[in-house]
Amino acid sequence: MRDWSLRPGDPLHLTLAADARLCKPDYPNDHIWEAEMGSNDPERSAVGLATTYGLRARSMRIFLRFSEGANTLTDPNTFAAKPSLRRFYPNFLTLDFVPFENLHTTVDFWVPESHAVAGRVTLVNKTTAIRNIQLEVCAALAPLNGQSIIPTQQQLVNILAGQTSGIAPVIFMTGGPKHGPRPARLAPAGPRAGSWRRSEPYPSPKPHSTRFPKPSTSPAKPPRALGRRNSPASKCWTPGRLSTSAPATRTGTPL
């Protein structure tokens, strides 16, 4: 994989979709996502993905939020180092940024098939102290003829689920998530990664089956990963935990 260093302001229009070379796309129901690296609108500026499911929703966004102590950051314009695009393919991309000083973060977004999108967040503490970090993976869905995301369970697995125009988005993540955010402890120089998946309709959750392409691999076929969606209200999670709060829902996990 060639490494780049493209930043907000560079000529970029980053769309992600199922790659016909690696899977069999469902063309009548192919979900196309657009990557977001921040914008001039503070209400929408975030690192994440957005779609309309082919105009079957007003909007659907999945984005990240970082907290340490009393500081909470969503807008990349307020990060210690803004996002840069390091790798990109038709169905996969990698972003690097630093939300808080000495907290190096890598985010992978991947569309393994027409009905799913996945994400992986890797945090590395570059200090010599243990840090309590909360990572939230949030979603905001404005549905058409549907309902907002609600926290629920499937086969004893905590998930987030909603509906819009016949689509039933389901979001789950690795790490045995529980409803309700909690801080994560990050050891000095220690990386911590968490994966999530959005898919539809209600799948049989297999939290430990998520695999992403290794950084050293070529753009050959990446392994399958997990993805998720939300509804009019926002929902978020971090590796290992789910939570809900109006109008945004959060899910958090120790790092």
Residue 88 lies in a domain: yes
**Looking at the domain assignment, is residue 132 inside a domain?**
yes
CA distance 51 to 68: 29
The total domain count for the chain is 1
Domain limits at 222?
Answer: 15-243
pLDDT in tens, 31-87: 999 999 888 887 789 999 999 999 999 998 889 989 999 999 999 999 999 999 999
Q: Which residue has the higher pLDDT, 227 or 140?
A: 140
Alpha carbon distance 51, 229 (integer Å)? 10
Domain-embedded: residue 7 = no
Q: How many helices (H) and strands (E) does the chain have?
A: 0, 17
Return the amino acid letter for 251. T
Q: Considering the domain boundaries, does residue 37 fall inside one? A: yes
Instruction: Return the DSSP state at 170.
Output: E
Other CB atoms within 10 Å distance of the CB of residue 101: 11
The model's pTM is: 0.72
Six-digit token string for 49: 């993905």
Domain-embedded: residue 199: yes
Q: Is the C-alpha dihedral spanning 40, 52, 10, 109 positive or negative? A: positive
Which stretches does DSSP call E strand in 5-163?
Answer: 15-16, 33-37, 47-51, 57-68, 71-73, 81-89, 92-98, 103-113, 116-125, 131-143, 147-154, 157-163
The average pLDDT across 12-25 equals 92
Q: State how far the Cα of 96 lies from the Cα of 163, in Å rounded to an integer.
A: 32
SS3 207: helix
Q: Is residue 251 part of a domain?
A: no
Residue 23 falls inside a structural domain: yes
CATH of the domain at 120: 2.70.98
pLDDT(202) > 50:
no
Over residues 108-166, the pLDDT tens digits come to: 999 999 999 999 999 999 999 999 988 887 878 889 988 887 778 888 887 878 899 99
Residue 5 lies in a domain: no
The model's pLDDT over 206-224, given as tens digits with 9 standing for 90+, comes to: 333 344 455 444 444 443 3
Minimal CA–CA distance to 151: which of 227, 241, 74, 66?
Answer: 241
